[in-house]
């Protein structure tokens, strides 16, 4: 449940209540850079807990300048307010192909701090990566991350079914520039007239990960880009056998 730059937190709370009433589990985004003060963060978290929310997705947010004292996800964790409200199921982000505004050393340090927070507080953290167009960057990042000692569960981002022209635009804004250029160079895609299918990437990742033993959990996070109906249809069409007998590792971002 993304929180737009001009969104109202009250609308997020209402949306969470509706999702809960429908028998589903909401995971609202909390954008660090949109929080104006520790008091506002305290109020936002209290409203979520009162509505029945138990999980959050922590993101830095799209604002160029932080509205308050929280420039990034680690600063939200360091506030102590999440644990204070009993919120210990938290999603965090990571970037296999880098971030357009943040250097690799800073990204590595942020992931280290997130991992340490999980260990120190006993919180259940999981990583959602930026979306990828091929397995290679995600698997290379995953290997490097595990070698660095991070054992948090990972959900590798994959774009859902969407028009290629729209997908390239999302990719450029998200910093997945190299992969977007490679996508445009593929035969038959030059005019970007068709639609992207996540099937080849999702199944390649699933088959690779199914061969790994005694490793922390890894799944796939589907970025729908507003195309929820198409994403749901795609998920329901996947043969269970191709996923190693289960689709439990697949998740949607709405």
Domain ranges of the chain: 130-254
What tokens does 56 get?
């959050």
What tokens does 226 get?
């507003």
pLDDT tens digits along 163-178? 877 777 777 666 666 6
pTM of the model: 0.83
SS3 state at 130 = strand
DSSP letters spanning 16-33: HHHHHHTT-----EEEGG
pLDDT tens digits along 78-110? 999 999 999 999 999 998 888 877 888 998 999
The side-by-side arrangement of strands in the sheet containing 55-59 is 29-31, 55-59, 89-94, 124-131, 154-159, 218-223, 250-253
Give the pLDDT confidence score for residue 234 in this predicted structure: 87
- Give the residue from 132, 126, 90, 125 showing the smallest Cα distance to 222: 132
Give the pLDDT confidence score for residue 202 in this predicted structure: 85
pLDDT tens digits along 198-234? 888 888 888 877 776 666 678 889 888 878 888 888 8
- Total residues found in the chain within this entry: 254
Q: How far apart are CA 111 and CA 125, in angstroms?
A: 11
8: left (phi over 0), alpha (psi -120 to 50) or beta: beta
- Give the residue from 94, 97, 215 showing the smallest Cα distance to 151: 215
**Strands 162-163 and 195-196, sheet pairing:** antiparallel
- Give the residue from 201, 253, 196, 247 showing the smallest Cα distance to 223: 253
Contact present, 69 and 33 (Cβ < 8 Å): no
């Amino acid at each position: 449940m993304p929180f737009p730059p001009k969104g109202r937190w009250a609308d997020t709370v209402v949306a969470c209540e509706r999702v809960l009433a429908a028998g589903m589990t909401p995971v609202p985004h909390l954008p660090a850079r949109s929080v104006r003060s520790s008091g506002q963060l305290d109020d936002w978290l209290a409203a979520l807990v009162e509505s029945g929310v138990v999980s959050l997705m922590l993101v830095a947010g799209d604002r160029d300048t932080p509205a308050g004292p929280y420039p990034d996800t680690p600063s939200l964790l360091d506030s102590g307010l999440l644990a204070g409200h009993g919120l210990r199921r938290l999603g965090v982000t990571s970037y296999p192909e880098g971030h357009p505004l943040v250097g690799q050393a800073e990204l590595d340090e942020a992931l280290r701090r997130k991992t340490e927070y999980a260990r120190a507080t006993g919180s259940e953290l999981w990583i959602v990566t930026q979306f990828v167009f091929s397995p290679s960057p995600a698997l290379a990042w995953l290997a490097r991350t595990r070698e660095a000692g991070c054992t948090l569960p990972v959900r590798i981002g994959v774009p859902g079914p969407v028009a290629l022209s729209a997908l390239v635009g999302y990719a450029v804004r998200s910093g997945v520039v190299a992969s977007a250029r490679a996508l445009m160079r593929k035969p038959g895609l030059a005019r970007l007239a068709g639609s992207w299918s996540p099937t080849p990437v999702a199944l390649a990742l699933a088959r690779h990960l199914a061969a790994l033993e005694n490793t922390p959990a890894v799944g796939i996070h589907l970025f729908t880009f507003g195309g929820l109906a198409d994403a749901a249809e795609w998920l329901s069409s996947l043969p269970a056998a191709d996923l190693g007998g289960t689709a439990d590792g697949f998740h949607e971002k709405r």
